[in-house]
Amino acid sequence: MTTATSKRLPSPWGRLRARARDHRSLTILAGWAIVASVLPVIVMIPPLSTFQPESLWIDGFANAGVFILLAMGLNVVVGLAGLLDLGYAAFFAIGSYAYAFGASPFTNLQIPFWPMLLVGAVVAATLGILLGAPTLRLRGDYLAIVTLGFGEIVPAVFLNASAFTKGTNGIGGIYKPELFGFQFTLENPVPYYVAMVGVLAITMVFLYRLQGSRLGRAWMAIREDELAAASSGINTITTKLLAFALGASTAGLAGVFATSKLTFVGPGQFGFQVSFTVLAMVVLGGMGNIWGVATGAFVIYTIQAVLLKELNQFFAVLHVPILQSIDFVQYQYLLYGVALVAMMLLRPEGLFPSSRRRQELHATSDDVADVPPPTEALGA
């Protein structure tokens, strides 16, 4: 009797997971607090400490947060709603220029950074709705082509509207964030790092709440079968528009933060390679899983910004005949392509997939394997 009762009792790990599910928001905030505390300590341990100083690591983590925001926003559009967006960098550009117009000598406006976060998100969301409205009847490849065109149009407009954007010269001298009279500086990247962790934590709590809500379930229903979702009473028009708007607003947040840190914005920063990189982060991280997408974005950015540069020096020190003459940074997109092909062949659900997507992919492969050959099905 005692043995049977003990078997039915959940393990401590199971009780911890159940409590984490019941208090998802507090779990996310605690998780980000742990991550933010551990990362600066890890980079002080060899071999990471030999790559670059701790201040550069922390500055790189703040920059990685920009791509994590972009990946989480694109995950709403692609991973949850199933709408392929190849021009996502356009919303990143809109948020960046919104902050440049609101806080720079170019317009003589000095709107503080913190309200501009919301302004950049709202402006990008509005443009997301304007993009989504004429494309509601498009699906698959057609939607991808339209979003790709939009992603090319926006930087071209900023490039040619030189009277309003200073064209190729871009807008410089953008004001840095301030908090209670303390101004952020590049010499001390810790304030940027702490601010980015706070923005990421709040954004992730909001996205997890949305994913488990009625709207999130509607997004996933449209992703699986839009016709069936419409037959079930889901308003596919407003649901898809909300997906575009929320994904764009997250990119607007990332644009405001990146521009405030760089203090410069120009049209050359928002090419197709930005959209491709963010999409690769979502696919490799695991579409539909918010933590997985964030982790994938962080890993890919760290490899791109640190590891590839260190490989050049590493092979040069070892005097490896062929590898020491290769500039791995120039081949980063080749590596992305190889990684994507390998991922689609070996693990199509991504490194950290959502449980639903993992079950769908593996259930599909099992069902195909169980289907009898045509001759057996005909009774031959």
Alpha carbon distance 85, 89 (integer Å):
10
- Whether 102 contacts 119, CB under 8 Å: yes
| Three-class HEC string of 333-357 | HHHHHHHHHHHHHHCCCCCCCCHHH
Question: What are 52-80's pLDDT values in tens digits?
Answer: 888 999 999 999 999 999 999 999 999 99
Q: Could you tell me which residues come within 8 angstroms of residue 5 by beta carbon, excluding any fewer than 6 positions away?
A: none
Residue 373 pLDDT greater than 50, yes or no: no
Q: Could you tell me which residues come within 8 angstroms of residue 229 by beta carbon, excluding any fewer than 6 positions away?
A: 218, 221, 222, 236
Query: Given pLDDT bands bounded at 50, 70 and 90, which one contains residue 92?
Result: very high
Alpha carbon distance 228, 234 (integer Å):
9
103: enclosing H helix or E strand = strand 103-104
Return the biggest CA–CA distance within the chain: 83
Alpha carbon distance 7, 15 (integer Å):
14
Q: Could you tell me which residues come within 8 angstroms of residue 294 by beta carbon, excluding any fewer than 6 positions away?
A: 68, 71, 72, 200, 204, 285
Alpha carbon distance 132, 149 (integer Å):
13
Question: What are 190-238's pLDDT values in tens digits?
Answer: 999 999 999 999 999 999 999 889 999 999 999 888 889 999 899 988 9
Q: Which CATH class is domain 24-370?
A: mainly alpha
